[in-house]
Structures are given as structure tokens and as C-alpha cells.
Structure 1
Amino acid sequence: MPLDVVPPATPPAGEAAAERCDVLVIGGGPAGCTAAALLASRGRHVVLLEKDAHPRFHIGESLLPLNLRIFEKLGIAEEVRAIGVHKPGASFISDEHGNKVNFLFADGLNQDYKHSYQVKRADFDALLFRNAAARGTETHENTRVLSVGLGQGAQGHCVTARDAAGRRRVWQARFVIDASGRDTVLAQAMGGKQRDPHNNSAAVFGHFRGVAPCEGCPEGNITIHLLEDGWCWMIPLPEGITSVGVVGTPALFKRRQGSFEHFLLQELARSPSAAERMDGAELVSAVTTTGNYSYRAKVMQGEGWLMAGDAFAFLDPVFSSGVMLAMASAELGAEAADAWLDDPVRAAPLLRRFESKVRRAIGAMSWLVYRINSPVLRDMFMQPSNRFRMRDGLVSLLAGDVHADTDRQIPVIAFKTTYRLLSLLHRLGWHLRDGTLRRMPRAPHPVAAE
């Protein structure tokens, strides 16, 4: 990707003299704070720019077990535990199948981490931001990046921003990490942001009080209600709050008439299992919506820069992978950036490893994401078999154990092979019901990838 598609790498005439730093991180969310904290801990001069002020509302409240390892590395494991709701697993509920299935992280292939937490992202992100500052990061809130000029070699990169007082600030950074989330600062500047053609979904969500717990589900589990044209999440949060959202295909959102609040309540009422739990619940936040959920940038790293977390790619959040993928990619990216600052040649294989592992992790999760509306995958979720430990392998994917190449292990290979076989039989009119194959008619569903 040519670098002349972004502003030049030297401050424009009349600008204040550039402030210098080793690494400039754009975005004070999970990815940016993780990278900044790790690099500052290694003695690097790190500048972290956040466009808002913490605490600020954000979605993505359900964490995965493999986040715990990074919390330990950052020294915040106990602080996260103190603000979170214990999460032993995930429960899937289907009105079509008439049952619910509980997946417990303790049953996964990786026995090192057997639980996680549900958190209010405002509190969680503020904790990460404070931790980055405590480890030596120079942090700036209410500071919005206006332009990024990518240079070459020792010239470094020029980042221009507007701070909380309205002043223009310029930094000359040897390395830039774009962790700007859905703002995708570098990808937008390069014209390299691509909507994911496999997953064109949108979401509408809010916080409620008084949502009934899921009967028969372990306390603390995230619950996923499978809908006709999408799915619904219900996440128990501290202080009796439940995060509730509906994610759907364009077919679902074409039904909207009136406000998004009305639409959210309407779609929840269409599901008997969700409606029963929402009876008497009180909305205690604004209803928020976001569209074009899934995307990916064309390139991920270059000479003295990289993208981490949602700044590179975002998946449908059905399997709660966003924060885990963001922090894991930031951890790998920080290692590569630290090496690059000492020796760009020696860092080259680390940058390639960073990109390869992140792309592979996204691929492992997206295999499930792309098929969530497939009747075959839904049958397998709601009637899970543990032959060849397929269920245990699926739990490991749900736990976020993707950097361990879980998708190459026999249980996951067996699960995918079974899916492909059942997809073939499905086209011939056979369907999985009560653990057996039956020939029966079925209402049409969206075609999913095989």
C-alpha cells in the first residue's frame, strides 16, 4: 500500500514543533491500553491518545477465559475480578429447537483458564487506561487524531491531534500503533477498509434492570437467544443491570418502524424465551445502534506501524471475541514494536508472526461467526455431540483459545468435518433432530458458507 495516500510525515508549516516519542498509540480502549502498558513497562516513551474521556460507554461487555492470562501479565487480574460478574460459560437458547444448552469453559481443552467475567466496559476500559498511565505511559484524553503521516526509517511518523483545550498538537513518533477501534484511523486514511461480505449485520442494544435470570443456566453465563433472522445477547452485569442486544441480518432491520427503542423491544417480544425474561424489565440507558458490523483492512502492518484490535478487523460479537482478540493482538504487536525500535531487520519476522497469528485467530472465530444463521450449525449447537471430544473443542473456541491453534486439533477438525457432512445431507433433505438424522421439510434459511 503506497504511503502517499496519507498526509506527509513532516509537520505542516506554522505548526508547533513536534513532540518526540518512541511509540504513539491511537485509541485508549483494550488494545491501545494493553500495547501502551506493555511497551511503557519496557522503558519505551509511549504516548497514548484517546478521543473521549474515561469512563465512557462501550459495548463488548462479555470477556473470555483467555483474557485472564493477559490480565495477569498486566498486573490487573484482581482489579478486574473486583468489577466483574463471574462468568463460567455461555448458554444458547433456541425457540425453534425448544431447548437450551450450557457450554462451560471448564470443559474445554485448555484447563489453565476455566472462567471469565462480564464487565461494564466504562469501568473496565477506565481501569486499563489508568494501568497504562501507572506503568509510565503519557496519556491524553479528549484528544482526537486529525491526521497521520507515515514516514520512512529514522524520519518517523507525524501524528497531528486536537487536545481537550482545542490546541493542535504534533508528535513525531518512531512507531505508530493504530488501536482506534471502529474509527479505523489508518485503514480509512489508506482507503483500505473493506466490509466483510460474509457477514452483513447490525445491532441495537441497551441496558435494562429487572431482566429475569435464565432458568436452568449457570449463574453468570452470557445467554444467546437464537432468533429467526439473527440472535440476541443477555449479559448479566454488576448492580443488577443486564446488557441486552439484538444482532440481525438486513432482513431483520427492514422490519423496523418507529424508534430503535421500539424496534429492540419489538424483536425481543417476537422470541417467546426472550420475551418471558424481559417481562417487567426496565430500560435504564439510551438504546444504541451500529451498522456494518464486520469489516477488515487490506493491510495490517508496515514500516514502523501496525494495526491492533478493531482498527484492523471486527467480527460479529456472537462469540464475545472482540476484547480478547484486541488485547491478544496488542500483546503480540507490542512485542514486535519493541523489537523494531531496536532493530527493524530483526523485528521483521516478529511482525510477520504478529500478522499471521492475528489473521489466523480471526479466521478461527470467523468460521463460527459466518455460520451462526446456518440451520446446520444451529442444530449442532443445540444438540451437541462430544464424540471425538467435539463439544470440548467447540468450548475451547468459545473460550478464545485461538492463538494455541485450537482449530488444528482433532476435536475441532472433527466438528468442522461433521458440519460439512451434515450440510451436504441437509441439502438432500435430512435434518438433525434429537440426536438422529430425519428426513423432513424445513423452512428456508439464509445460505451459510460451508
Structure 2
Amino acid sequence: MSGTGSGAGVTIGSCDVLVAGGGPAGCAAALALVRAGADVVIVAPVATADWQVGESCAPAARPLLERLGLLDLVALDGHAPCYGIQAAWGGEAPTEVSQVLGPYGAGWHLDRARFDAAFLEVAGAAGASRHAGRVRCVWRREDHWQLTTDAGGLLRARYLVDATGRPARLARRLGATPIRSDRLTAVAGLLTAPGGAAGSEHTSLVESTPWGWWYTAPLPGGTQVLMAMTDADLVVGTHLLDRDAWWAQAQRTGHIRHRIAHLDAPPRQLRVLAAGSSHTRPAAGPGWTVAGDAASATDPLAARGILMALATGLDSARAILADHSGDTHALAAYAGRIAALHQEYLRAQAAQYRRERRWDAAPFWRRRHQASLPPLISA
């Protein structure tokens, strides 16, 4: 592959691959493509949020981070260790799944803003160009794509990677369809200990309730994320948008309240986030792929968002390189793998929710217990 890319100015020109989205999936794809000799431009908006919800990075991501040359960066960049997950689920007493004794050791509780910024910097240092903004229009012309951005830039690219997250904004414009399985919603707050003192726990904690479930995890720097998870249409009825009511419900839990006992005030603000499961069909087509949450967005309960972002980013890059080398089945095969992986995930998700039977009559749980399992398919 060859082309001319430039990160300066409004008009970028031509490139081999345009990656829409600068998160882990987009950066993983860009890094793999650049190292294979492709000319890559990443189009992504400048981060404006004052904080991002942290994510646990599973130990199974270690080999992928090592392949990308990022393992030492993550290990040495001040991210907090994650030794496992505790869950009060299906019963009052919490159970624990330890990660320390697994084949890859502990994972991490990430400072997502720092992780994403470092990953983007590594991709840029490897040779990927950066254009701040979002893709606005895209159309096919002969053997390449032409795109405009909201900053007015005109770009030409032979291939596209949509790593724009759950909305799959670029794939929608190409005729693909994001398919949602549920409308799980997170109402999240960032908690800070007095004096910035960090808690002693290095595990995530999940606790189910009649209307959904709570999640909390420590983050670097003495902060802690706390999220109430329920369906979008149930948020108002559970009063979770009211900061004081949200905090009061957290105080009435059996286990979450002990984990946040050293935090003596509710957060300054709450953030409402889409957290439902979805996938884009198809996940690839002539000259394009989707990766990360745009390809397969999973329930936070699965704790596999970063892992899937890295894996699909790398796999989408391989598919593009194979297609460019003459493998006419590579992109369709990639789309098949994404479809199979997502259906496998949906079956595992259904099994996990069916473990909690204490509130079968409540709408949140009834929906999940009555949902039909997806059929078994293979890539």
C-alpha cells in the first residue's frame, strides 16, 4: 500500500486506510496497518469530557498489548491492578473470580483518558496521521472512497475502518445495520475519597438489585467509579437520575455501600451512558470493516470491552491487508467471525442473567429470562 497523508491543515488528501475513531479499536487497527506499510489517517474528535468511565482491562488482553508493543506502557503508566471480580449475584453472599492465578496474571483498572491518549500517541509515532473531527459524508468513486469531515476536509481512501463505537456512524452510511439486543443504560458517577486516599480493594464489585445491578471499581489516583445499570425505560421510575436518590439507593445495598463507605459525599454530577449489547450487520463489505463496539458492543457485565476492541481492531487490519493482497473472501470471512463471536457472547450473557432468579417478576429480570437464545452459528 502507498499514498500521501498529512496531519496538518484541513485538506488531508489521499491515504490507504481511513480509520474513523481514535479509541483502542481504531488505534489497534491503525497501528497494525501502519506497521504493515499502509498509509493511515485517523479521524477522531478531540476528547472534551472532563472524565471518562474507567474500564477493567482483562488479563487476556496482555498478549494483544504485547503484540502491539503497548504492554510495558500500560504496566508502567500508573494504571491500578485488578485482581478479580466479586459478585453478589444469585444470592446474598458475594462470590469472587480471581484473575491472579490465571495464565496471564492480573488485569488493570484503567485511567481511560490516559490509556486512550497514550495509545493514540503511539499510533501517531508509528506513522498514522491524525485529523480532528468526524466523518460527515462518504461516497464511493471507482476504486476508492471520498469523504468529507465536519471541519471541511476532503479525503480519499482505499479502505475504511469504522471504530466509532456503538453508534457505528460510518457503517450506517455504507448501508450496514446496527442491531440492538437490549437498552441497558448506565447512570455513572465518579467518587473521590477525602484527601484523594485510595481504597484498599483492587477488585471490581457487582451487586444485583430488583431493578438491575450496581458496579463499582477503583481507578488510579484515589477515585472510584460507581454505576447503576438498568434499562433505559426504567431509569426514571427508579429515580436514578436524581443524584441524591441515586446515592441513597447505593447506601441501601448489601455490599456496595461497604465499598464506598470511605467516600462521604455523592458525586458532583452523574453521567448517563448507553451500555446495551449490539452488533453491526454486516461487519464488513467491499472496502470497509467495523471494529470495537461498532462491530460488537457487549454488556459491561462481560468485562470484555477493551479486549474485544484490541482483538477486532487487529483482525480488521488483517482482513484489509488480505483483501489488498488478493484474498477476495477476507472481508466476508471477517464479517462472519464477528457475527459468530457476538452470538456466542449473547448466549453467555443470557446464561449469566438467568443465574439471578430472586426477582423474576421485576421487568428488568423478566425481559432477560424470557428472551430467546440466539441460534448457534459458526464463522
Q: Is the 8 A contact 1:205 1:264 kept in 2?
A: no
> Would you say 1:362 and 2:345 are equivalent positions?
no
Structure 1 residues 249 and 183: CA distance shift in structure 2, 3 A: closer
The separation in 1 between residues aligned to 2:232 and 2:353, in whole angstroms, is: 13
Q: Is the 8 A contact 2:54 2:225 kept in 1?
A: no
Q: CA deviation at 1:228?
A: 1.8
27-36 or 99-108, larger mean C-alpha shift: 99-108
SS of aligned partner of 1:338: helix
Residue 304 of structure 1 corresponds to 287
Residue 44 of structure 2 corresponds to 50
Q: CA deviation at 1:18?
A: 7.0
> Would you say 1:137 and 2:136 are equivalent positions?
no
> Would you say 1:230 and 2:212 are equivalent positions?
yes
The separation in 2 between residues aligned to 1:56 and 1:312, in whole angstroms, is: 27
Q: CA deviation at 1:180?
A: 0.8
Q: CA deviation at 1:81?
A: 1.2
Structure 1 residues 36 and 285: CA distance shift in structure 2, 3 A: farther
Q: 2:224 aligns with which of 229, 242, 248?
A: 242
Q: CA deviation at 1:226?
A: 1.7
The separation in 1 between residues aligned to 2:274 and 2:49, in whole angstroms, is: 24
Structure 1: gaps of 5 or more residues: 1-15, 380-430, 432-440
Q: 1:295 aligns with which of 278, 301, 304?
A: 278
SS of aligned partner of 1:43: coil
Residue 155 of structure 2 corresponds to 171
Structure 1 residues 269 and 252: CA distance shift in structure 2, 3 A: farther
Aligned partner of 1:208: which letter?
L
> Would you say 1:39 and 2:19 are equivalent positions?
no
Q: CA deviation at 1:46?
A: 0.3
The separation in 1 between residues aligned to 2:341 and 2:59, in whole angstroms, is: 15
Q: CA deviation at 1:258?
A: 7.9
Deviation string 1:354-401 (CA, Å, 9 cap, x unpaired) is 223333332333223234442xx137xxxxxxxxxxxxxxxxxxxxxx
Q: Is the 8 A contact 2:283 2:334 kept in 1?
A: no
Structure 1 residues 148 and 266: CA distance shift in structure 2, 3 A: farther
Aligned partner of 1:158: which letter?
Q
> Would you say 1:157 and 2:145 are equivalent positions?
yes
Structure 1 residues 271 and 115: CA distance shift in structure 2, 3 A: same
The separation in 1 between residues aligned to 2:163 and 2:79, in whole angstroms, is: 24
- Name which one, 1 or 2, has greater alpha-carbon Rg: 1
SS of aligned partner of 1:146: strand
The separation in 1 between residues aligned to 2:293 and 2:361, in whole angstroms, is: 36
The separation in 2 between residues aligned to 1:442 and 1:370, in whole angstroms, is: 14
Residue 415 of structure 1 corresponds to none
SS of aligned partner of 1:99: coil
Superposition CA RMSD, Å: 2.9
SS of aligned partner of 1:126: helix
Structure 2: gaps of 5 or more residues: 1-9, 374-379
Residue 121 of structure 1 corresponds to 112
Q: CA deviation at 1:242?
A: 0.8
SS of aligned partner of 2:55: coil
Structure 1 residues 201 and 223: CA distance shift in structure 2, 3 A: same
Residue 221 of structure 1 corresponds to 203
241-250 or 130-139, larger mean C-alpha shift: 241-250
Aligned partner of 1:355: which letter?
A
TM-score by length of 2: 0.84
Q: CA deviation at 1:32?
A: 0.4
TM-score by length of 1: 0.71
The separation in 2 between residues aligned to 1:79 and 1:314, in whole angstroms, is: 26
Deviation string 1:132-176 (CA, Å, 9 cap, x unpaired) is 0011101123x1211121345x2x00111133xxxx111110001
> Would you say 1:81 and 2:55 are equivalent positions?
no
Between the two proteins, the alignment pairs up a number of residues equal to: 355
